[in-house]
Amino acid sequence: MKKIAQAAFRRLAGKPDDAPPDTVPAAGRIHEMCREGKAQEAEQLLLGSLRARHTPAAARMLGTVYAMQQRYDEAIEALRGALDSESRHAGTANLIGVCCSLMDKHEEALRFYGAAIAADASLADAYANAGWSSSVLGRADAKKLFHDWLAICASERPEIGMRPGRGRLKLPSVTLCCVDCAYHDLAATALRVTLSQCEFGAALFLSDRDCGVADVRFVKIERIGSSAQYSNFLIHRLHEHIRTGHALIIQYDGFVLSPDAWDPRFLEYDYIGGAMRVDLQIEAADIRAVIRQ
């Protein structure tokens, strides 16, 4: 919650141009006090400001201070006060929703996320938060909300060019692979960004339809409709399409942004990725499958 509240300072807290400087504490000062563990002092400063003059900015900052202390009922009350003055402030509605979600009031949270999206259709966080609450409730629209969130994030990402004076990282013994049958447009963005940073021995997009990225070979496969099918394809079928010694697998939400983090020693390993349990009591014929896994 602390990270969420800190992000809320960047999006919500701010001193309105028409607010007297002596009645609305600067957001940066409040943020710094909370980082130093002085949340109660920040709270008293804001309460004093609100007694002198009620402003939406001060009420929003007070709400974030309460949220950082996990005092969600008080946070919601303060944020509602801000929303009463600025009924279409998307960030305020979104943060009320976050507090509701953390209190397991997901139906109520969704109403506020909906209000946030109605006020600002580009507020990516509101889609992600709504997707989370929808998934908890088992609602079918969760997938679309997460997709919309990722699409907005992709559209807002600044263009990433080649490393100044160094060009693309050359990886001739590595095949770039992306397997995706659900988020073709986001997969295309992941491929383009990665290829702007690195030059591979080959680049493959394996899917039920092409995503139209230059210098990427499209491999048509039967549509993958679940995470289990995805994992099964990577373990049992992907190697059929690889002609280099290594492969780098990217996804629509995980791809190359920092090529300087590459270490040539990575190529000394059979597998680099998430931790997994390996049963050492296996037959020799199963070793190849385990390495692929």
Looking up tokens 């509605």 gives 93
Per-residue pLDDT reduced to its tens digit, 177-218: 999 998 898 899 899 999 999 999 999 999 999 999 999 999
Q: Judge if 181 and 48 occupy the same domain.
A: no
Q: Judge if 136 and 181 occupy the same domain.
A: no
Q: Judge if 30 and 145 occupy the same domain.
A: yes
- Is residue 162 one of the residues assigned to a domain? no
- Is residue 122 one of the residues assigned to a domain? yes
Q: How many Cα atoms within 13 Å fall on the side-chain side of residue 157?
A: 16
- Is residue 161 one of the residues assigned to a domain? no
Range of the domain at 286: 169-292
- Is residue 20 one of the residues assigned to a domain? yes
Q: Judge if 113 and 24 occupy the same domain.
A: yes
Q: Judge if 100 and 244 occupy the same domain.
A: no
Tokens describing residue 211: 């995503």
Indicate the residue type of 246: H
Alpha-carbon distance of 52 to 22, in angstroms, equals 10
Rounded average pLDDT over 266-287: 69
Q: Judge if 144 and 174 occupy the same domain.
A: no
Domain stop point among 156, 188, 223: 156
Find the CATH number of the domain harbouring 136.
1.25.40.10
- Partners of 207 in the beta sheet? 220
Per-residue pLDDT reduced to its tens digit, 3-18: 554 555 445 544 444 4
Q: Judge if 98 and 145 occupy the same domain.
A: yes
Q: Judge if 237 and 136 occupy the same domain.
A: no
Domain stop point among 97, 129, 156: 156
- Is residue 164 one of the residues assigned to a domain? no
Alpha-carbon distance of 238 to 30, in angstroms, equals 52
Alpha-carbon distance of 173 to 199, in angstroms, equals 10
Q: Judge if 107 and 193 occupy the same domain.
A: no
Domain stop point among 104, 124, 156: 156
Q: In the predicted model, is pLDDT for residue 44 greater than 60?
A: yes
Mean pLDDT of the chain: 83
- Cα 133 → chain centroid: 15
Contact 229, 160 (CB under 8 A): no
pLDDT of residue 292: 43
| pTM exceeds 0.85 for this model | no
As for how many domains the chain has, the answer is 2
